[in-house]
Structure 1
């Protein structure tokens, strides 16, 4: 059939209006299937403009893989030095990856002292000096008093990064940046090194740094230390504001001088203890280090779902046999059958190492972290045109087993160890060539100032290139982000003409034009990705241009059912009501002789589609449409749904709802967390605990004057879900928790004092505290069923009513958060927030509605988008 075949189907139907871009036309009728699990994160879509054409290849998992969205939002990995990450936990890492650190450099957990804050003390138990009052102001270093703000008061307008704003403790999990995701479908991704401060609001992190600088100033005797405010201002002034210097880039030269330390390679493999061996046919097998390392990769994953996946196991065993052929077991043992292999001893060793690492003393953890930080320090920054800028994923990817996404055919394959001989280094001509941290010579050193990568290498799974880029907050990455969103905003000027033209082409007599117009309709209205052809060794994921016969089902009279695996093997299932002409076109495109496996748009490719789009606007691609539709939808939803006089919690719920609409539009799904049910139950218990406190205040109020029961009829009724049985259980559990907390604090304090060489606290200290706790709960036990309660602090009607009102507000806020979390359990908010939503929309919305930006953007996101933090409240996408 000729390429420009004339269609014979009737075209007499009149043009009908375009489907409105409302949520109703984008109904999501199903949830992700088993292959749709998205580790939390977000998949950042990076431009290929920085990659030489000759080296652009299809991406896969790896060190440069893009992080996913775990959502959301407001905190980063650690969940968020790695952008994207919605549920960041070391539990998701192979045991070998975690345990191996104990044989080299351990990355200890951050040690925090127990707080003696009264934040968690029930209002009815507040001390006389603190009940119903604000805490006393404390003098700052500069002599000024800092007024402590009530946690329930209206938040002040935030100025970033100087203003301190307390981060909400029970924020939505989706507000946290998701952890780095393996992304076989994506090109390359910038991944930041872990930052232990990522979960803190930016203002608090800067304050901590200011304290540190001030302390150093005193210790060196160089004069008076800077105050926190001065230190914060100094750090802010040091930031290079490239957006104010008109540095948006011209697509050619990216830098003039570039110096860096290269790539940090993982340490060589350290063999397991001689008593830890895998078993073959029930007998210990002595393996050379090269073979033992690969066996350990699988042994560490023994309790994961990967080890139950037949394809994963087959690919692992096939690659391991190749290693065994080169490095055979001692004693002439022949390993030929996977079913006879027992990796349990290895798994138990790795699990024990992880447990040992977690139980290490705080002083040892601190020393190991300092050692690790010192070893990595020189790799974390580079000099770009004389400016110090942070490097992103400076670590070479360690060897391991490829996991992939969904039904990737190569899952379980062995990822080889990367060495200097695999790395191409990009550096300035005058810069000193760095020496690798392990023996070897760089594969090649180039001086290409038209690209932004510092190093690259080719991985062995899919043959794609991996790159080391600057960190997300760097000037080059910031310019790329800002250009991306500015290009999406520019599309506003052309979108009406584009829609008019493709609407007219829906009835074109040329099959190629009609197919292109229909594909453009789907890309515009349904935010589908363009899609590319896939090889046999890649996961069967598709986009708009690569949709096949079986991916769209006609459901008369005017509905189309989309069902296919999209990026990262996430299932896209959507029942869409479309115009009659669209329905007719799909019927034609699926007509005989086409059958299962045939392309629906057989006359359209991503290349020809993007070339057509570029005729409307320079640089316009299908990806720009996705960014544009996500941001414009988000702006419209925020303007429509945000309550003008609502509480901060209500405004945050409206923000998350708008974010959800975009995530649904872009098919950013995640599987329901295995801990979701537990988290919801915990929130319900917190609400009941607040109601318990409210009950005690009510009883205390009526004890002051029984006549108040008639006067305050709204407080006369008992709490609906608080019964005697629950009260007994709650008080007993709370007593036990407080005793345990007191014991742990005493132990931690002594551990700290011992590390500092000071005298430890006597056991009588903790015994006295426990005795006081028991006395309090014995008193509460006596109050059960009496309808009486002792209120500590100011025993006045006004004070008690004020505290009851505060509890009512907290209960209301918690209920809003519960609904918000339940509605977002299957939607990944982080991906769209990081990659598709213009951050200036969020900042302008926060300023307009007096919502602290820290409640929505983590430290990582605020560092990633500094150029967006300076817009005013009137800014609109």
Structure 2
């Protein structure tokens, strides 16, 4: 212990009451899970997190770090201090060695991006404007004021008169298509908004393809026009008044496009935390169909004999049978929970033949599994027309549930389907995985709907548990599931106005933190030496939340997975290593392992040793800090500030700086995309959004490498054609080098595969041509025609075989050398791009990029970056995200987080 105590002085020790010292070893608070408090995480159990089923993460620490020996500190007893007072140490609030260096998993520049100097608060790196020009945007401001916070402090203030004219009447509840025509003269600074409006003001008779607002904004900016398009004479005042051409009714896509509600331009988008809506009408939820019993000949076996199960017991057996080929069926906890719940069902619904089922190992579910597999194959073998017919019938049955009327507007509902019964899989090492999820019935569900509107009838027998009219919440229905007692909610879809307002307010709250973060950091750095134990613990926890982007953590029950966050860390989760390293090793949200060996400031290292003294491994490290107390303290700096906001802020500011530093200029789109994905990976590592390497990763990488070789093969053949044309090409540097990873064996294998594809293609075309001939009333072609086509293919590949190793080749169609040179240049570009894609895929195999993109990264950063660097946003955002973040597409290319 002498080595531990050598760095700690008596003056560093906080003031602790004697009563606390007596029972210090047992004075703990069970207060946390890292499961709830991640900023940007979905607050409900029905989230959009793409990594919901993510398996336990693999350790991403480098081998050299893992090989570094951990110096054990022995039993944590109070050491004898040999060092003198350290009062002469400079206050940590004024020191800056860690600010410039990341304290997370090796990630150059990621942490430094979370520290802003006062001179760089604005995107233009200019001094901060006074409050009169750039206010402190709190929760009480409507979102319409926040929307103009573009260009980092250079907010575009709308002219009051024009806003008044354009937003008069009931525009906050009408679709944008019914806006009054904007004046012709517009300022160039308002181009992005005005262009979007002029696009909407075009007559309905003009034919156009369906575009999301995101695409539309992008096209307007890319056009280079600095003035709005002129209005056509004779145009109706409202878009709704403009009638389409005769005989050409509006398509469904056009109607949906016109109905987009641009809530971020509304005068009052209900962003003040009070009533969220005035009128709400919907059709409730759709329940899954009732269970259909298996055919009589399909029965599970017990001890080798068929068992005649009633429908209720058979249904539960089917849940397990569907999973016998998965890892779940090999899990002891999963099997134990399933069998316990199934025995309860069997007690109420015993086998008709009197079989007593007492041992899961004697149960054979294979006959049920085989039947289910056969049914799946039947569905796969349906024709395209039959599949379309089934989908059409399903869509028609669900159509009325998919939308609702919110304040007179038609908006999409998100998860309107009630989850069917089944076996709970949980996330990570959940203690209840395998338990039976009961069938949800109308009697379990509370509906939230407007007053005076028709109450929907459920699509199965039963009555709703309750019907309420709460305008302060945004959910349409909720119920409590039986496994963990969690509330399940039905919300509007991700692209709805209410969800969009919530997202925008979340990112604006994180952006507002820029104005306060320096002061918060100064205070918690100073409190690292506070003589009061509670304040020193809070400051140290705040250091971890800010620097390592840890979730705060909340109190958890014994029947939940043993996951922790910062405030609920136990002594066993943090190991000290001289001189100033901390090793974190714990299970975070969804049982994803967090492992990080990180260098910290000396005072933080001393504090952790103090907090661990006279405690066992199971004791809480921060026994005087709770998430509630932490958030109450943070709220004193900024209204609505919580530990969650820091996670969103650090993710977005890190992402912004990484993009600014690493995006290459005058580069290809793929090189820019690689830089974007690299920045996203830095954030994912910071936030511990990791995953195990996908099982199919090597297989997909092999396919990509094979495709790369096929591109090189094409290039090789073109080179050989040039050599055949003129031997001078052999001396040119850009053509002289062979494709080193292509050998004769691979070429032979590749050409055989090419031949097989050509034969298959010819046979399919022959069959299709015959079908068309028969449909047209003509005679089909004879097989001789097919054989003739196949013989041509055979001759072509015989020629290729002869050319192997000769460095000479010919083309089916002759081309001039200039065209061949041009084709080789294009192939060189494709090969370069594809190599970058392979590198990017390999680099991201252990990192999940989707979570941060959905929940933690302000989408306006991506939108502005795409406009600045001429990258199509469709290459980054899926269609779902474009619909989710239409408001973000309105920013200009100078916008900064």
Instruction: Give the Å deviation of 1:737.
Output: 2.1
Distance of 1:375 and 1:285 partners within structure 2: 36
Q: Quick check: 1:5–1:511 contact (8 Å CA) kept in 2? A: no
Q: Quick check: 2:218–2:889 contact (8 Å CA) kept in 1? A: no
Which residue in 2 is equivalent to 1:738?
A: 758
Instruction: Find 1:808's aligned residue among 820, 828, 833.
Output: 828
Which residue in 2 is equivalent to 1:111?
A: none
* Residue 14, structure 1, aligned to residue 14, structure 2: no
Distance of 1:752 and 1:286 partners within structure 2: 52
* Residue 641, structure 1, aligned to residue 717, structure 2: no
Matched position secondary structure for 1:737: helix
Matched position secondary structure for 1:557: coil
Number of corresponding residues: 698
Instruction: Find 2:723's aligned residue among 702, 709, 716.
Output: 702
Call closer, same or farther: CA 1:749–1:325 in 2, change over 3 Å: farther
Which residue in 2 is equivalent to 1:582?
A: 604
Matched position secondary structure for 2:576: strand
Which residue in 2 is equivalent to 1:61?
A: none
Which residue in 2 is equivalent to 1:833?
A: 853
Distance of 1:752 and 1:249 partners within structure 2: 60
Instruction: Give the Å deviation of 1:437.
Output: 0.6
Q: Quick check: 2:689–2:848 contact (8 Å CA) kept in 1? A: yes
* Residue 863, structure 1, aligned to residue 883, structure 2: yes
Which residue in 2 is equivalent to 1:465?
A: 487
What TM-score do the two structures reach when normalised by structure 2?
0.74
Q: Quick check: 2:524–2:540 contact (8 Å CA) kept in 1? A: yes
Which residue in 2 is equivalent to 1:356?
A: 378
Which residue in 1 is equivalent to 2:743?
A: 723
Distance of 1:775 and 1:224 partners within structure 2: 52
Instruction: Give the Å deviation of 1:785.
Output: 2.4
Call closer, same or farther: CA 1:164–1:514 in 2, change over 3 Å: closer
Instruction: Give the Å deviation of 1:353.
Output: 1.1
Which residue in 2 is equivalent to 1:171?
A: none
Distance of 2:287 and 2:776 partners within structure 1: 37
Q: Which moved more, 1:286-295 or 1:792-801?
A: 792-801
Cα deviations by residue, 1:807-852 (Å, 9 ceiling, x for unpaired): 0111111111111111110000000001000000001000000000
Q: Which moved more, 1:315-324 or 1:763-772?
A: 763-772
Q: Quick check: 1:248–1:483 contact (8 Å CA) kept in 2? A: no
Q: Quick check: 1:162–1:233 contact (8 Å CA) kept in 2? A: no
Instruction: Give the Å deviation of 1:160.
Output: 4.6
What TM-score do the two structures reach when normalised by structure 1?
0.76
Which residue in 2 is equivalent to 1:109?
A: none
1:69-80 equivalences in 2 (<5 Å): none
Instruction: Give the Å deviation of 1:799.
Output: 1.1
C-alpha root-mean-square deviation of aligned residues, in Å? Answer: 2.9
Distance of 1:683 and 1:432 partners within structure 2: 56
Instruction: Find 1:674's aligned residue among 655, 674, 695.
Output: 695
Gaps of 5+ in 1: 30-48, 50-140, 147-156, 166-216
Q: Quick check: 1:161–1:236 contact (8 Å CA) kept in 2? A: no
Call closer, same or farther: CA 1:551–1:808 in 2, change over 3 Å: same
Distance of 1:655 and 1:553 partners within structure 2: 34
Call closer, same or farther: CA 1:752–1:797 in 2, change over 3 Å: closer
Call closer, same or farther: CA 1:145–1:610 in 2, change over 3 Å: closer
Distance of 1:824 and 1:772 partners within structure 2: 45
Cα deviations by residue, 1:519-560 (Å, 9 ceiling, x for unpaired): 110000000000011101100000000000100000111000
Distance of 2:843 and 2:849 partners within structure 1: 11
Matched position secondary structure for 2:890: coil
Call closer, same or farther: CA 1:861–1:4 in 2, change over 3 Å: farther
Q: Which moved more, 1:658-667 or 1:339-348?
A: 339-348
Instruction: Find 2:837's aligned residue among 817, 820, 830.
Output: 817
Which residue in 1 is equivalent to 2:642?
A: 621
* Residue 253, structure 1, aligned to residue 275, structure 2: yes
Q: Which moved more, 1:361-370 or 1:467-476?
A: 361-370
Distance of 2:362 and 2:600 partners within structure 1: 56
Distance of 1:383 and 1:694 partners within structure 2: 58
Matched position secondary structure for 2:851: helix
Which residue in 1 is equivalent to 2:467?
A: 445
Which residue in 2 is equivalent to 1:304?
A: 326
Distance of 1:241 and 1:552 partners within structure 2: 49
Gaps of 5+ in 2: 1-15, 25-77, 108-138, 140-203, 223-242
Q: Quick check: 1:421–1:443 contact (8 Å CA) kept in 2? A: yes
Matched position secondary structure for 2:575: strand
Call closer, same or farther: CA 1:235–1:396 in 2, change over 3 Å: closer
Q: Which moved more, 1:334-343 or 1:282-291?
A: 334-343
Instruction: Give the Å deviation of 1:775.
Output: 3.5
Which residue in 2 is equivalent to 1:224?
A: 248
Distance of 2:507 and 2:219 partners within structure 1: 26
Instruction: Find 1:778's aligned residue among 771, 791, 798.
Output: 798
* Residue 544, structure 1, aligned to residue 620, structure 2: no
Matched position secondary structure for 1:575: strand
Distance of 1:435 and 1:388 partners within structure 2: 20
Call closer, same or farther: CA 1:758–1:373 in 2, change over 3 Å: farther
Distance of 1:833 and 1:760 partners within structure 2: 57
Which residue in 2 is equivalent to 1:563?
A: 585
Q: Quick check: 1:456–1:467 contact (8 Å CA) kept in 2? A: yes
Q: Quick check: 2:98–2:600 contact (8 Å CA) kept in 1? A: no
Matched position secondary structure for 2:405: strand
Cα deviations by residue, 1:156-178 (Å, 9 ceiling, x for unpaired): x964576999xxxxxxxxxxxxx
Distance of 2:891 and 2:470 partners within structure 1: 35
Q: Quick check: 2:770–2:781 contact (8 Å CA) kept in 1? A: no
Q: Quick check: 2:581–2:598 contact (8 Å CA) kept in 1? A: yes
* Residue 500, structure 1, aligned to residue 522, structure 2: yes
Q: Quick check: 2:98–2:601 contact (8 Å CA) kept in 1? A: no
Call closer, same or farther: CA 1:637–1:769 in 2, change over 3 Å: farther
Instruction: Give the Å deviation of 1:2.
Output: 4.4
Which residue in 2 is equivalent to 1:600?
A: 621
Q: Quick check: 1:19–1:578 contact (8 Å CA) kept in 2? A: no
Call closer, same or farther: CA 1:241–1:867 in 2, change over 3 Å: same
Q: Quick check: 1:548–1:596 contact (8 Å CA) kept in 2? A: yes
Distance of 2:673 and 2:779 partners within structure 1: 46
Matched position secondary structure for 2:103: helix
Q: Quick check: 1:158–1:847 contact (8 Å CA) kept in 2? A: no
Which residue in 2 is equivalent to 1:653?
A: 674
Instruction: Give the Å deviation of 1:751.
Output: 8.3
Matched position secondary structure for 1:707: helix
Call closer, same or farther: CA 1:818–1:364 in 2, change over 3 Å: same
